[in-house]
Chains A and B, each alone.
Chain A
Amino acid sequence: MTKRFLATTATLAFATALMAGPAAAQNVVTMNTVQIFGTIDPAKISDYTDYMAAVNLYDSLVTVDSSGNLIPQIAESWVVSPDATEVTFKLRADATFTDGTPILASDVVYSFERLLRINQGPANLFAGVVEPGAVTAVDDTTVSFKLSKTFAPFMATVPALMIVNADLVESNKGADDGQTWLADNVAGSGAYLLDSWDRGSQMVIKRYADYYGEFLENPIDEVRWIITNDEATVKALAASGELTMSSPFQSPDTHKALVDMGRFRMESQPTTTAFYLKLNSKSAPTDDIHIRRAIAYATDYATIREVIFPGEPMTTVLPAGFADFWNADVPAPTFDMAKAAEEVALSSYAGQQIPITLSYVAGTLFEEEISLLMQANLESLGFVVTQQPEPWNRVTEIAADVATTPNVNQIFFGPTYPSPDSMFFTQFHSAAAGTWASMEWLQDPAIDALIDQARATGDVAEQARLYKEVQALMAENGVAVPLLAQTVQHTWTSACRASVPCRCSPSTMTWCVTAGPALDPLTEARARQGPALQCARASGATQPIW
């Protein structure tokens, strides 16, 4: 086994070396992912690796460009009815699946119905918004979505609906709606074809030359994903020349080590993924607002951002990347131990030892570092700290009950669709209580009402006003301490960088490898639909941020 692995590694390294030569016309990118590809069935995809594969193998009606704008993909245009309850897409006449057959409106209907039937992956984005039967084929190239209510972020969720080849899936349907077949096979129209997939170790996709869409100049011909989350292995792969690109989720030390090798350069991308301390507002001592404020003052934001985990300052519960909705008037939280001591003195727990639990994801080194930093500061204020490292799957369990939710929780949350609604509704609305994204147990009717109003209106200015008010209220109640907006660091070889044109955007939450039109949206897909869904399902072995 080991021998074979070594042999494979050697062969790969050799092959990569050959391809990197000037004679090689092939543009091969080898990168590592920190977790396995769970599934490539577009009705079941949920986490970052799933999406990364699926967006390259399947196309959607629309996709997102690197600035976060919706752009046509299978659909060439779309019309939204005046009351915003019906969207009609016009499909490209030349769009074809990778087996050469044209993409018809009936394929869209089939894909949507199948998604709802299986009811996994992105299905929850449409739950209660588009009912079964509400998507209809008007003619071969026109498809209509009827919404059961006004839902402002609807268009943003459309890229999550990837279109499958209805005839192909039907002929391999089996007893489970093609789930078994689509778990290993592709019935899509993406710019890349699945070349090989060894579930535990790697996946290779190759460019589909007859893709109906356009490739950028000098596109990537082949992408090899090597699955490992071990920092030492990533460094070893990089040193051996096998790796052209690291996953964005390596530790800052690993990125630095790669850069020090000389062949790699690092790029940082700000994202709209927020990192919070979520304070359980219903259990002692964090039920006291002064204790919550003391914790916010006792947080050393600069050290966390600059030394422990790279990020941009975050002043409100909404990352500043949501420029139109971000409330600039909310003062930034500050690190001030004197003020923290004053707040403790004002609290009902003043003058006693205050037991408090700090929870973080077990095995996540930087979270442990932050937790130790918090412990050092809090203990000097008279808190008695219990560290509670929990595997990620346990976090999702203990978040379900207010009694088992620890006092302080380190949680990453990124928008699952490009709307501030994703940040507010999923985290701070009472409907979200009992999920890992909502460990504050806020349950504040005033905030619920504001979020509901923002969801129901199509007026962006009004939405911005409402969301800014929510941010002010959240700063007031202090249940979520905004630590930072994640900066994604990503390292790649200079050679690769030079040959691969890249479009990046500040609003996307991760790196972008762009070459073909399909590799580009993987960034977007991750920013839009991937991370939070994935967070909910990520195993304990991987980190919730991805």
Chain B
Amino acid sequence: MHNITTWLESNTFHHSQFWDLLRLIRRKEALGLTISLCIPTLNEEKTIGKEVVLFKSELQDRYPLLDEIAVIDSGSTDRTLEVASAFGADVYSSADILPEQGFKRGKGENLWKAIYQLTGDIIVYVDADISNIHPRFVYGLVAPLIYRPEVQYVKSFYDRPLALSKEIRSSGGGRVTEILVRPLFSLFFPELTAIIQPLSGEYAVRRQILEKIPFPIGYGVETSHLIDVYTQYGLEAFAQTDLDRRVHRHQEIRDLGKMAFGILQTFIKRLNANGMVVDLPQLTMNLRQFQVRESHYEQIIHEIVEEERPAMQEIEEYQEKFFHLQH
């Protein structure tokens, strides 16, 4: 896998390489690029305030890297929108964006609708549940797109060890990545194994790519992006940036099971579309988990249907809003 080695050398960054924000902004302005930040939310009142304050103050007021900071919400019942708005973010309810297309609940839905609602040439997505949020979560991801025109899609990973030695150490993602996604990539898309954390929720992408790829609305959105961009543009379209450490909520193993089930659906769908597996039977959308109640085992059935939104460029309203400007 010569390509992996070369790519890791040339397209893997550490955020500290982009510490010179003045230089970054000058380059951005010279290129005439605009950048939008999308924070998808669902009941994030505890962490959203800090994210908005930090990004607005550091990356709009002090260093004008971001042209737009938007929170796109899936129907929070807490004060997420109130808090985000109070600190200066543009806030949108996902259901109010492209209402003709209906509303589906899921993070992928928010990300997809952001393509229509936001105006930037680059959209950077940052999850709202990061308690150690820092401006590097944005500038570390957009910088490769600004400095390297051939890069289309920049993923985050979090790998900064607290102490460095000359010993070899393993590097990788979370449980679902290492148990499900990387083995699947190893089997079917070996080059994609070079993406150290394929499921990380922070990434920056050029609009011209985002508008061309479909969006699963649930767990599979990150995996589908990687496969779809890879099959069309190759590994060279990607870069990844180490953002050090990310502190966030720990997920229960049962929830990870649901996530894995959704990702697997997305994966199989793409294997089918690419002719990599044939003659699969009709698959059930039910995930079965078990629990014990008074010494009896009982099953819990979760229906998890990984619906997908089409590529945004196919949506008429999007064409009306953007294509007369771009094409």
Partners in one complex: no
User: What residues make up the interface of A, taking CB atoms closer than 8 Å to B?
Assistant: none
